[in-house]
Structure 1
Amino acid sequence: MAIGWIVFLLLVNNSGTLGNYHDCNVSQRCMKDINIFLWDLNQDEPKEYATLMYDSFGKMGSSVKDGNVNQPGSLQQCRSAIGPGFSAQYCQVFLKQGAIQYFVGICLPDSCREQDVERIVQCDGLQFNQRSLLSPLPPILTNQSYQDIIMTHCLADAVTLDASSVACMCVCCVMLAIPLAATLLRALRRSDPSRMVSPTEHISLSNFYGTLKSNGLSGNEVNGQTLQENGRINPVAEDISQSCLSSCFRAFALQTTSKGVFSTLPSVQSDKYASLNGIRVLSLLWIICGHSAQFPVINNLDNYKTWRKAVQSSPTYVLTISGPVFLAVDTFLLLGGLLSARSLLSSINKAEDHLSLGLVANYLFKRIKRIQPLHLFTMCLTVSLISLVQWGPYWFPFVETLMDCKAYWWANVLLISNLLPVHEICIPWTWYLSLDFQCYATTPLLVYIYRFKRSVFAIVVGSLLVISTVTSAAITACLHLPVFQPSTITTDNYVLYYYVKPYTRYGPFLIGILTGIHLTTKKGQLLKEKWQAALGWFCCLSMMSLLIGLAYLLKETPAYPSVAHALYQGLHRPVWALAVSWIILACEEGYGGFIKTFLSFGVWVPLSNISFACYLVHPIFIILYNGLQETPIHYTDINFMYLFFGHLVLTLVVGCALTVLIEKPYLFLKDKSI
């Protein structure tokens, strides 16, 4: 038997071979199965499984100079091959050759572990007909023929779940089951014709809308009966406790949460700020378009250099580049500051012009109740999907996100994820929620100073704007940060020290607070003449155009401290916020013209109602699409246009569902009902 095995190895070494497998220190089972595969491949009529495995290996394509360096092979074809005594598994070898980093997909027996694969590649032991199945890129393309191994990874054929993944799936199921159950319960109760409206339900309806008074009776007296009598709880008290549960079910039912979401008319409270709906939706579309174009660029494009050259040379790509496109985030910060100031001042007026610690605590709690349920649901949903999906060759960015969530989920709960290093943020796009809440928490202090003494308020606001501007400029100069670069999002220093930090992004939010205070407390028109409005519009549109145009002039990353880059980085965000605040002010004072008409279209209202859910969920569709690809994406304008519209439609549908199932119920719950 031993002699037969030796003869078999000698025959294999004449055609296909594992090479010096003793030096490779490969496991005996892996070595045996690979040699069987190579033997069957070298027959006059190769076996079908061997042909499939060989054909699944990644091979060099054209346009390497344009960025087509990865060689993914065929994952599904590899997995479909079944050999004698083994199945095929798809593995990736990550290599570095000169300045180029790339991966090659290979198809090996499942008896080979990742350590075996790495050892085989290291000793160049995978050869067929005296040719390596992992041939290096031609030196003419890289100026170097030697390959360095970075890592190897084999993609599992089956999904494996750990405790954290199961816990996240349970959380998602429970959060979805509650509103669905409440909807069914309410539908059943309404369908009962014999059911009469009881005093209990009447009380619960009153409690749901924020009062316990009914028919002139006080909150502890109903139909002449007190809630507490002779030290014992009256049955009416039990009815009221049941009414709290009933109001909770009512708040979670779709019959309640869906009301107003699809309306094309703004609510009474927001009617004065109808232009905000259009601004919010257009900013959201800008962000989705940018993400749809940029996420594939990180690792999925086969012509990255063509894309980079196109977007850096023409302003027509302003919707997809990572310089001006993220001005939409500053627009959101401006709107957040405006609405936070308006909300707090409204609460102060209802509290008879008294700003107390209790009012501030309630103000912050309402914000947490507004963002955290859907935020945490999205985090759990992302972890669940990443755990359940069988990823393709472009898996690595998403698995890293999963590992970050398992280690740093607490930062999302505490809303401090933007303070962590960029490579530790769970669900990277949720950094904005942490930044927004941190800025939101400063509004009560600024409003207090404003009410205390206007001169002190002016000094504080001016100092904060100067500090934010100078800090941004200094960080840009010291770290030589770019202001325009399609791959900016992958630059660690840019994100780590500048992009997500409150001390560099506070300017737009602060300008939003000032705008909100002015619009809420103004006594008369600020704009009294048409020439003032015309001058304002000219300055506004000129500054917006200048900010976008300057990004193209400063597109090169500086190799030294650059004054121009520092000034742009320090000033462009607050200047953009000032321009948008002018648009809002002009629309509110009757000088908006056709721009106000456009921004106030009824179609923006339902889209604005679901914008928060759309922001949170849209990257999930982009990640799923990119991660399930088995071949690279080829950049063309038409391809990316279809990607954007495809992601947008899915985002709107799921965003609408999550708004009524997850977001709205917690907004309808009163503090006493929680």
Structure 2
Amino acid sequence: MALAWVQLFLLAGLLAIPKTTRSLNVSEKCVMDTGTFLREINQGNPKEYAVLMYDAFGKLGSNVKGGNTNRPGLLQQCHSAHGPSFSGQYCQVFLKQGAIQYFVGICVPDSCNEEEVQTMVLYDRFKLGHASLIPPFPSILVNESTQEMFMAHCLSDTVAPDASDVTCLFVCCTMLAIPLAATLFSATVRWRQDRDVTPTTESACLNDVLNQYGTVKTNRSTASEINGSTTEVNDSARCGSPRFPKSCVSQCLRAFSLQTTCRGIFGTSSGFPDGGYSSLNGIRILSLLWIVCGHSAQFPVINNLDNYKDWKKTVERSPLYAFSLSGPVFMAVDTFLLLGGLLSARSLLVSIQRAEDKLSAGLVVGFLFRRFKRIQPLHIFVMCLTVGLISLVHWGPYWFPFIDNLMDCKAYWWGNLLLISNLLPVHEICVPWTWYLSLDFQCYATTPILVYFYRLNKAAFAALAGGLLLMTTLAASLVTGLLRLPVFQPSTLHLFSSTSENYVLYYYVKPHTRYGPFLIGILTGIYLTTKKEQLLKNKWQAALGWLCCLSILAALMGLAYALQGIPAQPSVPHALYQGLHRPMWALAITWIILACEEGYGGFINSLLSFSLWVPLANISFACYLIHPVFILVYIGLQETPIHYTDVNFMYLFLGHLVLTLGTSVVLTVLVEKPYVLLKWNRKAGPVQH
């Protein structure tokens, strides 16, 4: 059937196209090479290159009714075909037939550019009779028989990085090279000092340690290694700990060395001096796993499932699929906002106590700067890595939905640098999943204001907090009602629809609609840091609290399914749910934290305080930033669609997770932690925290 279409195209095309080359704006080289290919494929014993090119064309497959409409063809096979004066070039022709939009992969000579391919396909359809190089869907599957083409896109077999790509790759290499050089420097200093230590000096060192700590270790160690603290011995160099030169560069290299950044990365300490807040690690990691699971399911659904409609029916039919639906999944983001507010309030209050109970402008600047240098190095690294990958990797046919968004980095990188990317139009966000960092920092900047009013006047603070919570709730409700938005953006909502764009642009990434959970986190952090006695005094109070908490969580998940879909007109239930569900979710998580802190967590506290969560929490920030890169690379390298089954998606999730965890350890110690540890002292220069 397909070969018959090619033959018809040959018979009519070879006669008609050369005569109209000038009017069609198709180069003579393109026409001649195309004619050579078509002539060869029509032979009784065609040459191998022609067979490869023809075989690389996208063919109509089964399960069109279930969503298998794209015909990607074979990109690598097309590129491997080499004719007498040309090579195979893989192009995608984007078509519409009735309500179905799809693309077809074709293999044409590389002497034809995208405009010429589009011209030839259009000329083939409208000028050469009823035959078509790309056969339409038969009428038994699609009511409309007429095809409309709106774009042709060719994927090059070569990479050509521009100046911005080279700059990004240089930044990535530099950020990795500095810690490695610092590690070599530290090792060299330690080796030289070990070489200079005499037996007499070593014996004196061990005697000093014995006298001070009452114990002896078999290997040379600093006092900090013996008592498990960060205390340093004055003559540490004599005892085998490397004594670094006092220069600025040397101190920076020490902070960046792996000998420093690897310490504690796999420790099981909660990270808080009093050992509290251990449940936060479990909440953080379970929320992160939920997000990775949701992204692993959501991203392939956007464009490269061959049974998309079957997946949609399965997901929408059963609430048990909450883990693969993006609405409930991304309430985990509100959990992160809650934890961010709690920890920001606690951090600022502790800093105020250390500053003799004074909230000064300098303290606020330092508070914000520490947050900035905490998130930006790894953020910039991932942004540059993503841009570099775009220019270096030979992508497959399913890369096109993401390429435009990621290429916005070259024009709108400054939005990420200034942490205002969520305020830009949705189609201009560089590395789209980093919108959260901008939102988080904007919310973080409000913590000093609220803490100031808390210390100034409790009544004014309560009025301010209540007003902010009311305004963010009303903003979310009004935006939803006026724009007729769904209560969440499910993966079943088409990525490029106007509703999807409005949902992200006016609601999902904006601080005025997402501030509620962070505000509740600030209030929780202030309470837990300043409380004098326990709130829960009886078991019945704890039982009632757990009943309300679990009921709220169940209701929010259930209502997400009851209200799914786009309302035909402004809907009060949709607006109310949109305005209330995120603060209510945050309140329920707050109860879990409070109950665990006050001894009423039971087995839930044991689960959330499991020591395994601590090292995972240490790399959680890197996990959040890097896991979408693995998912997009996997999708972008696919040449064939993914078939949805529970087992397939489970393996995808586990594969992405293992790669994410391993890479996050490396990024944490090489990129993130050095800047966290580096602290500037006006008198001594850069020193380690």
Letter in 2 for 1:452: L
8 Å CA contact 2:300, 2:635 repeated in 1: yes
Structure 2 residue 138 is the aligned partner of structure 1 residue 138? yes
The separation in 2 between residues aligned to 1:334 and 1:30, in whole angstroms, is: 59
- Summarize deviations over 1:625-673 as a string: whole Å, max 9, x none: 0000001111111100000000000000001110000000011111234
Q: Which residue of 2 aligns with 1:298?
A: 302
Q: Which residue of 1 aligns with 2:492?
A: 487
Q: Which residue of 2 aligns with 1:345?
A: 349
Structure 2 residue 657 is the aligned partner of structure 1 residue 656? no
- Pair 1:143–1:12, CA change in 2 (3 A): closer
8 Å CA contact 2:443, 2:518 repeated in 1: yes
Q: 1:280 aligns with which of 266, 280, 284?
A: 284
Q: 1:317 aligns with which of 312, 317, 321?
A: 321
SS in 2 for 1:102: strand
- Pair 1:12–1:73, CA change in 2 (3 A): closer
Q: Which residue of 2 aligns with 1:354?
A: 358
Q: Which residue of 1 aligns with 2:155?
A: 155
8 Å CA contact 2:395, 2:636 repeated in 1: yes
8 Å CA contact 1:16, 1:127 repeated in 2: no
Q: 1:617 aligns with which of 611, 621, 626?
A: 626
The separation in 1 between residues aligned to 2:125 and 2:140, in whole angstroms, is: 25
Letter in 1 for 2:93: V
Taking only the aligned residue pairs, the percentage that are identical comes to: 65
Q: Which residue of 2 aligns with 1:431?
A: 435
The separation in 2 between residues aligned to 1:397 and 1:671, in whole angstroms, is: 44
The separation in 1 between residues aligned to 2:601 and 2:559, in whole angstroms, is: 27
Letter in 2 for 1:544: L
TM, length-normalised to structure 1:
0.90
What is the deviation of 1:590?
Answer: 0.5
Q: 1:307 aligns with which of 292, 308, 311?
A: 311
The separation in 2 between residues aligned to 1:13 and 1:345, in whole angstroms, is: 78
Q: Which residue of 2 aligns with 1:47?
A: 47
The separation in 2 between residues aligned to 1:25 and 1:137, in whole angstroms, is: 29
The separation in 2 between residues aligned to 1:51 and 1:130, in whole angstroms, is: 25
Q: Which residue of 1 aligns with 2:585?
A: 576
What is the deviation of 1:13?
Answer: 5.0
What is the deviation of 1:487?
Answer: 3.5
8 Å CA contact 1:71, 1:103 repeated in 2: yes
8 Å CA contact 1:341, 1:443 repeated in 2: yes
SS in 2 for 1:582: helix
Letter in 2 for 1:613: A
The separation in 1 between residues aligned to 2:519 and 2:309, in whole angstroms, is: 39
Letter in 2 for 1:644: F
The separation in 2 between residues aligned to 1:487 and 1:343, in whole angstroms, is: 40
Q: 1:371 aligns with which of 371, 375, 382?
A: 375
Q: Which residue of 2 aligns with 1:410?
A: 414
- Pair 1:405–1:519, CA change in 2 (3 A): same
Q: Which residue of 2 aligns with 1:194?
A: 195
Structure 2 residue 603 is the aligned partner of structure 1 residue 594? yes
The separation in 1 between residues aligned to 2:90 and 2:379, in whole angstroms, is: 35
Letter in 2 for 1:356: S
- Pair 1:71–1:46, CA change in 2 (3 A): same
8 Å CA contact 1:189, 1:195 repeated in 2: no
What is the deviation of 1:149?
Answer: 1.5
SS in 2 for 1:670: strand
Letter in 2 for 1:252: F
The separation in 2 between residues aligned to 1:103 and 1:262, in whole angstroms, is: 47
8 Å CA contact 1:283, 1:328 repeated in 2: yes
Q: Which residue of 2 aligns with 1:541?
A: 550
Letter in 2 for 1:277: N
Q: Which residue of 2 aligns with 1:62?
A: 62
Q: Which residue of 1 aligns with 2:33?
A: 33
Q: 1:458 aligns with which of 443, 458, 462?
A: 462
- Pair 1:19–1:402, CA change in 2 (3 A): farther
What is the deviation of 1:264?
Answer: 2.2
What is the deviation of 1:537?
Answer: 0.4
What is the deviation of 1:11?
Answer: 12
Matches within 5 A, 1:473-484: 473-484=477-488
The separation in 2 between residues aligned to 1:464 and 1:92, in whole angstroms, is: 50
The separation in 2 between residues aligned to 1:305 and 1:388, in whole angstroms, is: 34
Structure 1 residue runs of 5 or longer lacking an equivalent are 1-9, 199-204, 217-238
8 Å CA contact 2:9, 2:132 repeated in 1: no
SS in 1 for 2:103: strand
- Pair 1:53–1:436, CA change in 2 (3 A): same
What is the deviation of 1:266?
Answer: 2.1
Letter in 1 for 2:464: V
- Summarize deviations over 1:90-128 as a string: whole Å, max 9, x none: 111111122211111111111111111011011116999
What is the deviation of 1:269?
Answer: 2.8
Letter in 1 for 2:195: S
8 Å CA contact 2:72, 2:105 repeated in 1: yes
Letter in 2 for 1:494: Y
- Summarize deviations over 1:567-622 as a string: whole Å, max 9, x none: 10000000000000000000000000110011000000000000000000000000
- Summarize deviations over 1:148-179 as a string: whole Å, max 9, x none: 21111111110010000000000000000000
8 Å CA contact 2:261, 2:673 repeated in 1: yes
The separation in 2 between residues aligned to 1:297 and 1:144, in whole angstroms, is: 25
8 Å CA contact 2:121, 2:133 repeated in 1: no
SS in 2 for 1:140: coil
SS in 2 for 1:62: coil
Structure 2 residue 576 is the aligned partner of structure 1 residue 567? yes
What is the deviation of 1:402?
Answer: 3.3
The separation in 2 between residues aligned to 1:569 and 1:140, in whole angstroms, is: 42
Matches within 5 A, 1:191-340: 191-192=191-192, 193-195=194-196, 242-269=246-273, 271-340=275-344
- Summarize deviations over 1:52-99 as a string: whole Å, max 9, x none: 111111111111122111111111111111111111111111111222
SS in 1 for 2:330: helix
When the two chains are superposed, the root-mean-square deviation of aligned CA atoms in Å is 2.4
What is the deviation of 1:191?
Answer: 1.8
8 Å CA contact 1:17, 1:128 repeated in 2: no
Q: Which residue of 2 aligns with 1:115?
A: 115
What is the deviation of 1:132?
Answer: 2.3
The separation in 2 between residues aligned to 1:456 and 1:405, in whole angstroms, is: 42
Letter in 2 for 1:487: T
8 Å CA contact 1:610, 1:656 repeated in 2: yes
- Pair 1:489–1:195, CA change in 2 (3 A): farther
SS in 2 for 1:607: helix
The separation in 2 between residues aligned to 1:557 and 1:213, in whole angstroms, is: 62
What is the deviation of 1:12?
Answer: 9.3
The separation in 2 between residues aligned to 1:626 and 1:406, in whole angstroms, is: 22
The separation in 1 between residues aligned to 2:44 and 2:31, in whole angstroms, is: 23
The separation in 1 between residues aligned to 2:514 and 2:582, in whole angstroms, is: 8
What is the deviation of 1:40?
Answer: 1.0
SS in 2 for 1:95: strand
- Pair 1:264–1:38, CA change in 2 (3 A): same
Structure 2 residue 451 is the aligned partner of structure 1 residue 447? yes
- Summarize deviations over 1:317-354 as a string: whole Å, max 9, x none: 11110111111000000000000000000000000110
